Structure 1
Amino acid sequence: MPRSNPNVERGNFMITLHMVDTQADAGLHAAAERHASLYQGLEGANVLFTSRRPALFPYVDPTNSIVIPLAERVLFSKASDLPRSAYVEVEAGQTIQIYHAYLQLTAQLRGLRWMMVHYRISTFIALTLVFWAFEVIFMGVAWGLWSMTSGSPPGDADDKTRRLEAEGYEYEDEDTDRAETFPTYGRQQPLKYEPDIKPEADPEQPLSEIPRAGADADDEDEGSFDDDDDDVQHKDSGIGTSYSEEGVSSIRRRTSRNKL
């Protein structure tokens, strides 16, 4: 149907359907024309089904939107040069009819800005991990520089601690009263240890080492007996006078026994 003025102004209208049992021929066609003009029914045909429904010519919005691109890829170098207003002029004379017009600015993002707009969650997670990694790296570099400037390498603390523990174990095994100097961290003064000198007490002799009186006497007698034997050997050998030598030795032995 054409969008002519009579069709648009028609409004709603009715549609009727008739189903008959005869074949479409010239006679049925003439009967249909008479029915359309006189509404006398379809002569010579048996109507099996009839339906009648309303119809309406579709409405079409008389307004039309026109999109006209006026500029592409415009770049402003400085933030102070950004435009704050715009003036749009339609040069078509006074007979053109316009409801309204507006100017739309579309930012064309690229690179990181485009990812942050279209993939917000993924970009947030990735940038957070990268920031954390750089923070850990720079913290390690700063710690190394600070350790180098302070004079103690990063591993000296553990080495000094182990050395002090080893020396502590050695000092526990040894009994010494010497003054010692211990290393410290950084540029601090070394620690000095000066032991307090205590008066040594005389060691007490255990009872087991004290000799008994009889034992001392025996030792002395044995010593004197040995001396006497040495004297006798230096004297006359007493060849042929063995009786007198034996008598002297027996007398001396008896004398030592009487002292006990």
Structure 2
Amino acid sequence: MDNSHADYKEGRAISTRAKDILLAPLRLALSPTLLRTYLRTFLILLTSTTLFAIAIVAYTSFYVAYIPVQGISVPVYLHFDTSTPAHGNDGAAGRRFPYGVADVKGLVARQKYDVGVEIELPRSDRNLAAGNWMVGVEVRGPGSTVGEEVRKGLLEWEGEEDFSRGKQRARMPVPGVGRPAVLARSRRPALLTYRSWVTEHAYRTLRLPLYVLGWGQESETLSVLLLESVEFERGWRSIPTSLRLEVRSATPLEIYRVKVLFVARLEGLRWVMYTHRLASFVVFTSLFWGVEMGVVLLTWGYFTLLFGAGRANEEEAASREKSFIKSEPDMMGATTPKTEPSSAPSTPRSDTSRTFPTLSNQQSLHYSSGEAGKIKREQDREEKLSLEDVPLRTEAEADDEDDD
């Protein structure tokens, strides 16, 4: 029976030890210190991820606002004078040159632009015989007030109409609004590419299948640069909102289509951000994110030190109050140390002597209080006194008694 009980206890001890060994990593992982570490790590990861997303959005917004549109294409629909020239003359007398007006959107201030025009026209005999002809453009700002002086450009103003959006009714003049101010203007010559008779016929012969199948046209596209590095000042009155294009030639030209191009000439940081987009994204996003994380960590450290120091001071003061012995003066002026009362409940004690039961082979156990023990010791001492302890009379004392 005793052996089975001992084996049971031994097996239970082994299972308890094995259970403690297996649960030791889990208990360590779920300790309060590591739980606080997990919480701090999660908060740091969440904050860093949020700030990184904010950095991406901030750089993207800055890129869109700071980098202008690289190329703005504005189609221009030319208006031709359909009136018959006087006396059958095909010249410029009594005839208006083709012109077109278009709106311009997307230009920014303090940015250099190259303004050019692309004209697609057929290589007809009439266009080839026209020789050199002129292309002029005016970049205009918003409408000006009547009191301002409006300069009349080299191009004509009279009779301007815009049918690019369909036939429109005549508008009454708006009080207080005059013609738009001219911000920039330029006129440049243009000429179709010259080819000799042999070269022209050989070129057309080689491209004849494309012309027959409709995959090509006997046309040529001319690119004319009108304005170089033109820059507009700040202010809404200095930002272009429209343009006017005019084509002047000795004989009327046959034109397919025309468009004006505004190409931004990027410099400095804008050039770096536009040319090296990926590298700029990585560098500036990381820089912005690093600044955000630095501010967050500094703020966290400051508040940690602030509240941590205050909590440490409170704990130290509490420990001092617990271990501090108060000294209070009594009626006579003396100081009597006074300790804080203990929170543990006091156990009542009795001075009565007791004898506790023990086993038969052990000595009996007796208890006696301090006063009882003291009285018992005095009684034992009196019982041990004998006649030997009584002092004997000396011879001098005996002589004195005889004399008496």
- Report the TM-score when normalising by structure 1: 0.44
- Report the TM-score when normalising by structure 2: 0.31
More helix by share: 1
More strand by share: 2
In terms of Rg, which structure is larger?
Answer: 1
Q: Which has the higher contact order (CA 8 A, sep 6+)?
A: 2
